[in-house]
Structure 1
Amino acid sequence: MTALKLCLPDSITPEQFLSEYWQKKPLLIKQGLPQLIGMFEPDDILGLAIDEDATARLLTQAASKQNGQPQWQLKKSPLTEADFDTLPEQWSVLVQNLEQWSPELGQLWQALDFIPQWQRDDIMVSYAPKGGSVGKHYDDYDVFLAQGFGQRRWQLGKFCDEHTEFVADEPIRLFDDMGEIIFDEILEAGDVLYVPPKLSHFGVAQDDCLTFSFGCRRPNLMQIIDSLADVATNDSSLFVPMILPQGQQSSGELQADSIDAITAQLLALLQSERGADIMRQAVCEVVSKRQYDVLLPEETLNTDELIQALAEGATLQADYSNRLLYNQTPEGLTLYANGQLLDSLDDTATALLTRLANGEHLTLDDMEGIDPDEVMEWLENGWIWLNYPE
């Protein structure tokens, strides 16, 4: 695939988008991803939803027998054909992590290269027949809603917060009041709508409709704390009991001074060079970790077939369903893949994986100086993908 045009209006630069729109206000990008047009049809997604390895949800809305009010029901994977036999008029099926099933779709992340790749989450697809929806809701993350098939009408309203009241006794977080509607348009195939975190939105299919959600996330503090503990477990010196000042106190009391002294030593560690190393590794492991299990290819090439494919014009590139990133430390570059530190790489491998993490396509000429069997391991681990010439 040739280099993609960035998914932004011609009148807006990446710098403008990041300063004026990112996490602040929505943006409609007409024909932001025309490559999506015709890439999938509804039957493709319906078939994928019942695959035993898929992560899917079936959301239906029907009138309650008690009061006639709309009531939602949610069923999660595994889904079967029988789940789709008797559906109400309004329903949707959602499939997560679609780029693991379609490397071609994953490559569309290139059009969003103005967002650091470590903030990419996954690509979710939502199929709905006419009238289908997932209700009025908001997300805690940034999302680019890309129309791939059919039409969907989107309404945007108020920003929500921790005080937003959800409809009781529903299987998903929904609310009734979106406040003042600030956006109300129908997206055609190829159109993209950027929605910042916590902005209420409501999409209704105008006909058979596929919407692809390119989600972007940042870690939360709980994830960082958990990762800090995991990384610090490997430092034996941290298991030595602390030296604390001791004064006269009642035998049953834990004084605030003791807690303050423990807190001070913890903060001193985090602000030290050793603490910086622990924090760096903890953050890198969190943001390179996949939300979903890796779906490894059932069949792989052997080394000779890999070399032959590269000789015939194939290229190597990062697999967009995996997480490959690097970090500059005082000692040099360190690389991470899917939440793991890659600590046994030589300089040649480090340089090649760094280029791949930056989105470069590598050819056979770039493989000079590296053992092809090592590259085969990258393929088998799912870090990279072999892209055949069109």
Structure 2
Amino acid sequence: MNTEQPLALLGGLTPSQFMKRHWQKKPLLVRNAIPAFVPCVGRADLVALACEEGVESRLIVHSPNGWKMKHGPFTKRSLPPFSQKKWTFLVQGVDLHHDGVHALLQQFRFVPDARLDDVMISYATDGGGVGPHFDSYDVFLLQAHGQRRWRIGRNKDLTLQTGVPLKILKNFEAEDEFVLNPGDMLYLPPKYAHDGVAEGECMTWSIGFRAPQEGELARELLLGLADEAFDGLGNALYRDPKQVAVSSPAAIPPSLAGFARQVVDKALTNPQLLDSLLGEYLTEPKAHVWFESVEAVADLSGGVQLDRGTKMMYDDRHVFINGESFKVGRRDALVLRQLADVRCLTGQEFKTLSADAKESLVDWAASGWLQAK
């Protein structure tokens, strides 16, 4: 992607300008971000997805008795009538199930794939919404159908209401207000409070991003280090030939504590191992994502394309795909990075790969991670 090309998607800003001025800093309202936008997913399509096993969905109803939330999958009969006001249902990860939504997500790849998450689509009847809240991640809110009124504000008080099934702000104060029409889009940085209410029937597409938490990331990396350390650090035993007789036998010897620190330091001194574990963590598919394996792989010589659900990234030394890491030679690395960036290879590009790399792609195709073009 040319990061210096002005985009209607960003209100005429280049991706570089947007990232410098707005990303994680301040909101951006873009009128006609996608001019004459016609959604490729309608209400019936969304209902069908919400009824499927393995698709994350939620139903939220706001009534005089308060807020109610249910998790899918649903049946069509379990949804309220569309004539009823103040309800909404949300379907997560629609890009994994629809080519058109997946294609739209690619327009936002001026942000690293390591941060890009998914497209959630919400349908709402008149007055429907999820209440004033904040997200811990960046989000683009693209209006797909109908109108939605957004009120936003930089709330310092992030206290939540108690006794409700949603994370609704107790003291929401709006600073700005916008009505979005189809094709309009609103970007909000993390923890920017917002409240969207449907004006008539509407659908909103939320392009969301992820930001690993310190504790979560540390746990995953340390678990990986523990597995590697068990196999790779050796069997050296602690030795204490200079240990003296003690009168306080329950005290842990300082030399043993030092030995423990040395073991951990040794496990942490391999930067390539940490890089590899990070790439595997970032490309690990979500729990509800699965791939259809094939017994007979089609001829890949005409080119390949990644499956919608495949996550593929790289660093200076590795290529990562769906939670696995590979070291590749320089020539192969250039082509496989191209596959990760563009999500497809031409037949000519495929032919330049080494025999080992071609064999890996055949294995990936057999696992359903990519297909012949």
| TM superposition score category, shorter chain reference | 0.7 to 0.9
CA distance in 2, matches of 1:225, 1:233: 14
Q: State percent identity of aligned pairs.
A: 27
Distance 1:174-1:258 versus aligned 2 partners, 3 A rule: farther
CA deviation after TM superposition for structure 1 residue 26, in Å: 0.7
Report if the CA contact (8 A) 1:58-1:91 is conserved: yes
Report if the CA contact (8 A) 1:97-1:321 is conserved: no
CA distance in 2, matches of 1:260, 1:252: 14
Report if the CA contact (8 A) 1:316-1:385 is conserved: yes
Q: 1:37-52 maps to which residues of 2 (within 5 A)?
A: 37-52=38-53
SS at match of 1:215: strand
The aligned counterpart of 1:117 is 113
CA distance in 1, matches of 2:179, 2:256: 57
- The question of 1:9 aligning with 2:23 is answered no
Distance 1:376-1:170 versus aligned 2 partners, 3 A rule: same
CA deviation after TM superposition for structure 1 residue 116, in Å: 0.5
Report if the CA contact (8 A) 2:109-2:116 is conserved: no
Q: 1:159-170 maps to which residues of 2 (within 5 A)?
A: 159-160=155-156, 164-170=158-164
The aligned counterpart of 1:265 is 262
SS at match of 1:362: strand
Report if the CA contact (8 A) 1:8-1:14 is conserved: yes
Distance 1:292-1:98 versus aligned 2 partners, 3 A rule: farther
CA deviation after TM superposition for structure 1 residue 25, in Å: 0.9
CA deviation after TM superposition for structure 1 residue 241, in Å: 5.7
Larger RCO (CA within 8 A; separation ≥ 6): 1
After superposition, the C-alpha distances for 1:25-63 in whole angstroms (9 at most, x for unaligned) are: 111122223485231211211121111232111111111
SS at match of 1:151: strand
The aligned counterpart of 2:309 is 321
SS at match of 1:126: strand
Report if the CA contact (8 A) 1:118-1:323 is conserved: no
Distance 1:267-1:125 versus aligned 2 partners, 3 A rule: same
- Letter paired with 1:73: K
CA deviation after TM superposition for structure 1 residue 80, in Å: 1.4
- Letter paired with 2:75: T
Q: 1:1-390 maps to which residues of 2 (within 5 A)?
A: 6=7, 7-10=9-12, 12-34=13-35, 37-64=38-65, 71-85=66-80, 89-160=85-156, 164-179=158-173, 181-227=174-220, 228-235=222-229, 236=231, 237=233, 250-253=248-251, 261=258, 265=262, 268-269=265-266, 272=269, 274=270, 276-297=271-292, 302-304=297-299, 310=302, 316-328=304-316, 333-342=317-326, 350-359=333-342, 361-370=344-353, 375-384=361-370
- Letter paired with 1:323: K
After superposition, the C-alpha distances for 1:147-172 in whole angstroms (9 at most, x for unaligned) are: 11221111111245xx6221111111
CA deviation after TM superposition for structure 1 residue 128, in Å: 0.6
TM-score (norm 2): 0.83
Report if the CA contact (8 A) 1:55-1:95 is conserved: yes
Task: Report the count of equivalent residues.
Answer: 360
Provide the alpha-carbon RMSD of the alignment. 3.3
TM-score (norm 1): 0.80
Distance 1:106-1:217 versus aligned 2 partners, 3 A rule: same
Q: Which runs of 5+ in 1 are unaligned?
A: 65-70
CA deviation after TM superposition for structure 1 residue 145, in Å: 1.0
CA deviation after TM superposition for structure 1 residue 138, in Å: 0.6
Structure 1 window deviating more from structure 2 (238-247 vs 121-130): it is 238-247
Distance 1:45-1:246 versus aligned 2 partners, 3 A rule: farther
